[in-house]
Amino acid sequence: MSVFFRPQAARSPSEPHRAATPLELLFDLVSVVAIAAAAAGLHHAIAEAHAVDGIFGFLMAFFAIWWAWMNYTWFASAYDNDDTLFRLLTMLIMAGSLTMAAGIGDMFTTHDLTMPVAGYIIMRIGMTALWLRAARHDPGHRQTALRYAVGIVLVQLYWVVFLLAQPLGNGMTYGLFFLGAVLEMAVPALAERRSTTPWHRHHIMERYGLLTIIVLGETLLAVSMALQQFDLAANGAAFLRISVSALVIVFSMWWLYFAREEHLPTNDLNRALTWGYGHFVIFASGAAVGAGFAVVVDIAAHHAEVSVRTGHYAVAVPVALFMTGLWLVRDRFGLAEPARLVLPAFALILLAVPLTPFGLEGTALMTLLAVLVRSNLARAAAGAAPAQSSLRHPSPPQ
């Protein structure tokens, strides 16, 4: 059988020892280049007192990066046959991601969307080809694969029209982009409704966990690079305060994500869509924390045009959103009260912390407390469950 071309048949969703491939890890790293560009744009927009435009620009860029990554990840979980053609189409998608990353800076500064949209369309051309291969070689899911391919093509026509209509006012651009995002998210929901593709549950959870680690690592890198501009002799105390706070927050976010409770215990389509789509909040907020810390560094180095409180909110708000995202995709399903309410409660507390004199340190402390409280309550609930079960079903008399 040719190494260049093998049938792209469906893989078994119960395949043992399924792990991320080197090609998938390379795809993650390419995606992180684009994520770093989006986070840098957000950082500079907030520091220059253009937070609203920066937030909208970041969300637009991050959605395109995340959506292309997510579509490829779920497809590869079901159909990765690792032949040469699959590798080449994957690399085409990577090339589109790098093209998009190259244009994100211009999108923030001059509102030029040409490169980001062109890169995104290149990525989606690669995905369309992959779905057409699946339709040819997997008769049992042919209609599902064809619905994906047709849906992707139709939405790309929308993006071409969107690009040709530029320049538009900010409000119109944001509104049309939101409509395009809704159309994109409708494609999997409609395509999978009658027959779901055979994605591998444990493989998907690993892939999402790996991107979470990479995004959190990106936050540490952003902090490290921003702190390089510090004069340690003059700002040693600020350097220490920001560094320790960043480490505590990032390590706590990692701990919250990789709790002992399983993220996706079922292959149910509705639950999978909620879990998969809800991770947009987790990934985007994780990347935004790095941008927030870079703003804090700029303020401490007197390179920003915003207040200290704004910098503290630039960290606290994405941390709160990260907790909210975890509640949305995992805790509200897998935990009993009161453990189920921990993350929403701490997310609300975090919104008030920047109003205190110790906004950054308070955010770090509240994030660490969220880990401790949630872990203890979840452990107590897990220990109580077997005891309650034995009370409801007593052993028969001997």
pLDDT in tens, 16-69: 988 899 999 999 999 888 899 999 999 999 999 999 999 999 999 999 999 999
Q: Is residue 392 part of a domain?
A: no
Q: Verify that 270 and 293 share a domain, yes or no.
A: yes
CATH of the domain at 369: 1.20.1410
Whether residue 388 is predicted with pLDDT greater than 80 in this model: the reply is no
Q: 295 lies in which domain range? A: 202-384
Q: Verify that 36 and 79 share a domain, yes or no.
A: yes
Q: Verify that 206 and 239 share a domain, yes or no.
A: yes
Q: Verify that 217 and 353 share a domain, yes or no.
A: yes
Q: Is residue 394 part of a domain?
A: no
Name the residue with tokens 């998608």: 93
CB proximity list for 293: less than 8 A, separation 6 or greater: 219, 222, 223, 226, 242, 246, 315
Nearest CA to 225 out of 40, 6, 390 is that of 40
Q: Verify that 189 and 133 share a domain, yes or no.
A: yes
Q: Verify that 181 and 207 share a domain, yes or no.
A: no
**How much of the chain, in percent, has pLDDT values that exceed 90?**
64
Cβ pair 336, 381 in contact under 8 A: yes
Q: What is the identity of the amino acid at 34? A: A
Q: Verify that 76 and 38 share a domain, yes or no.
A: yes
Domain count, the chain: 2
Name the residue with tokens 């790996």: 210
Chosen domain end from 164, 197, 230: 197
Q: Verify that 188 and 233 share a domain, yes or no.
A: no
Q: Is residue 370 part of a domain?
A: yes
Return the SS3 of 6.
coil
Q: Verify that 220 and 187 share a domain, yes or no.
A: no
Distances, alpha carbon 89 to alpha carbons 146, 186, 187, 201, 275, in Å: 18, 24, 21, 24, 27
pLDDT at 389: 44
pLDDT at 234: 61
Q: What distance in Å separates the CA atoms of residue 103 and residue 118, rounded to the nearest whole number?
A: 9
Chosen domain end from 178, 197, 216: 197
More confident residue, 237 or 1: 237
| Full DSSP string of 180-197 | HHHHHHHHHHHHTSSS--
pTM of the model: 0.90
pLDDT in tens, 265-302: 888 889 999 999 999 999 999 999 999 999 998 888 88
Whether residue 202 is predicted with pLDDT greater than 50 in this model: the reply is yes
Q: Verify that 291 and 326 share a domain, yes or no.
A: yes
